[in-house]
Structure 1
C-alpha cells in the first residue's frame, strides 16, 4: 500500500516548540490524554465514554422524532455551527446526521467562492443552500466566515466586513420572520486544547486531510481571532437570532450540549421532556459564558 501524503506534517510541532507561549507549550506537553486543558473549565477530565453513550442514545431517539416532525409539518430549520479550528463542529454534526435521513437533514460546508460568487451579493450563495419546507440544513461554517476568518486573513476589506455587520441582523430577521427556525451555535476551545487536537491530526494519515494551510497560518493569529470573535458576538447576538456558546474542551459534553440545546429549542411533536434536560449551564449559555481568560475587548 502506498504511503498517504502528509504535506503539513511537522508544522504544528514546529509552532508548538518555537512560537507557542511557554505556558501553553508546557500545558500541552504535560497533559494526560483525557485531561481538559483550559484552567477555567469546570471539569478536570473528559466525561466517561460509557456515560456519554448512555446519555447520547435517548437524544438521538428524539432526533428521529424531530425529522418526522420536519417532514409532516414542512418546517424549515437552519443550524449554524461556528467556532475556532478543531472546536468539534464536524463531530457534533455527525451525531445528528448518523441517525437522520440525508434527504431531510443535510450538511452544507461551502467551498471557497468562485470568481462569479465574489461578484455577487455576499449572502447570495448561502441563500441558494437554505432549506425548503421539510428540511433542516446544518451549516458547517456559514456566512460568519466574513466576520472572523476572512477578516483575520485579509480576504475581505474593512468596508465589506462593515457592510456584513450592517446587513446580517436584518438578513437573519427576514429568515426568522418568514418562519425559519434559526439556531446559532458557537463551539469554543482553549489555545492549548486546539494545539493538542491539531497535533493529533498532524501525524495521523487518516486525519491529516483535516489539517489545512489556514490552520497552520492561524496558529499565530490567536489574538486576532479572539478580537474578531468578540466583535462578532457584540454585533450579531440579537433577540431574534441569539448565539449559544458551548465550551467544547470535552467533546463528549459539548456534543450532548449541542443536542440538548437543539432539541430543547425546536417545538417538534411527541417531544419527551424527560429526555431533554437543560444543557449544562457550566458549559452552555450566552456569549457571556465565553471563557473570560480569552476575552479581548480590543483595547
Structure 2
C-alpha cells in the first residue's frame, strides 16, 4: 500500500470518530451555555474552507455559525474597526467560526494597502486588549494559523483556475498571493509576534497535507475545549503538524519563510 493510500485510509477511519467527539463537544457547550469562538487565519488556499467544512459537517445548524465577511461597506469603513465583527460573536451554547477575521487588517489590508500604516499599528496595539475583553466575558477563544508552503499554494491556486467546481473559491486577490509572498510572510510574522498572548494564544498548523491538517485541528479543538473525559478520548495533535506559536518558529523552519 502506498504512503498516500495509507494516509487516506487513516483519515477515513479517524475523521468519523473525531466528528463524533465534536458532536459531544457541542452537546457540552449547549448544556453548559458555553460561548466558543474559533478564528481561522492563513494564506490564500491554506485549507481553511475544507477544515471548517469537516468541523461543522455534523454539528447543529442552529448552534453553529460560520462567519466569512466580505469587504466592508462605505458605512462600515467609518465605524470602529471591530464593530462589524461584534454582532457575530457567539451567545451561550453557540459556536462561531470565523473564516478570516479582524486579522485582515494585519494581513491582506497591510499587504495590499487597504488601510493606512497608522490604522494597522492601532490594530496591533488594540487587538490584544480586545481579545482579553472577549475572554474575560466568558468566550472560549481559539486562534488557528494555517501555514502552507509557496509551492503548495501555487499548485492549489492553479487547481482553482482549472476546476470549474472550485471557481467560487477564486478571488481577484489570488493573483497577488505568489508575487507578494514575502510581504505576506512579513505581515504574518509581525501579526503572530504581537498578538500571541497568554489569554489568546495562536496555534500554528502545517497545512501542506490537507487531511493531516484537518485531523490535527479537530484534535486540538477537542483537547482545548472538551471536558476532561472527552479530551482524554482523543489522541493529542501531532506536534510536528500543530504547535503553539513561539518566536523561534519564525526562524527554525516550522513556519514557511
2:197 maps to which residue? 238
Partner SS for 1:186? strand
Distance 2:196 2:16 in 1: 31
* RMSD of aligned Cα (Å): 1.8
| Count of aligned positions | 253
Distance 2:51 2:117 in 1: 32
Q: Which has the higher helix share?
A: 2
2:71 maps to which residue? 112
Deviation at 1:217, TM superposition (A): 2.1
Partner SS for 2:89? coil
1:130 maps to which residue? 89
Deviation at 1:272, TM superposition (A): 5.7
CA contact (8 A) 1:76 1:136 kept: yes
2:110 maps to which residue? 151
In the alignment, structure 1 residue 287 sits paired with structure 2 residue 238: no
Partner SS for 2:142? strand
Residue-by-residue CA offset, 1:2-34 (whole Å, 9 max, x unaligned)? xxxxxxxxxxxxxxxxxxxxxxxxxxxxxxxx9
Distance 1:261 1:45 in 2: 23
Distance 1:175 1:155 in 2: 26
Distance 1:213 1:166 in 2: 30
Deviation at 1:273, TM superposition (A): 1.5
Partner SS for 2:238? coil
2:212 maps to which residue? 253
Unaligned runs of 5+ in 2: none
CA contact (8 A) 2:205 2:241 kept: yes
CA contact (8 A) 1:46 1:250 kept: no
Distance 1:145 1:121 in 2: 15
Distance 1:150 1:59 in 2: 35
Deviation at 1:137, TM superposition (A): 0.2
Partner SS for 2:29? helix
Deviation at 1:291, TM superposition (A): 7.3
Structure 2 length normalisation: TM-score?
A: 0.93
Deviation at 1:290, TM superposition (A): 5.5
CA contact (8 A) 1:188 1:246 kept: yes
User: Cα–Cα, structure 1 residues 60 and 295, in superposed 2: closer, same or farther, change >3 Å?
Assistant: closer
Distance 1:175 1:280 in 2: 29
CA contact (8 A) 1:247 1:290 kept: no
Deviation at 1:248, TM superposition (A): 0.4
1:278 maps to which residue? 236
Distance 2:251 2:31 in 1: 40
CA contact (8 A) 2:14 2:215 kept: yes
Partner SS for 1:280? coil
Larger radius of gyration: 1
Deviation at 1:286, TM superposition (A): 2.0
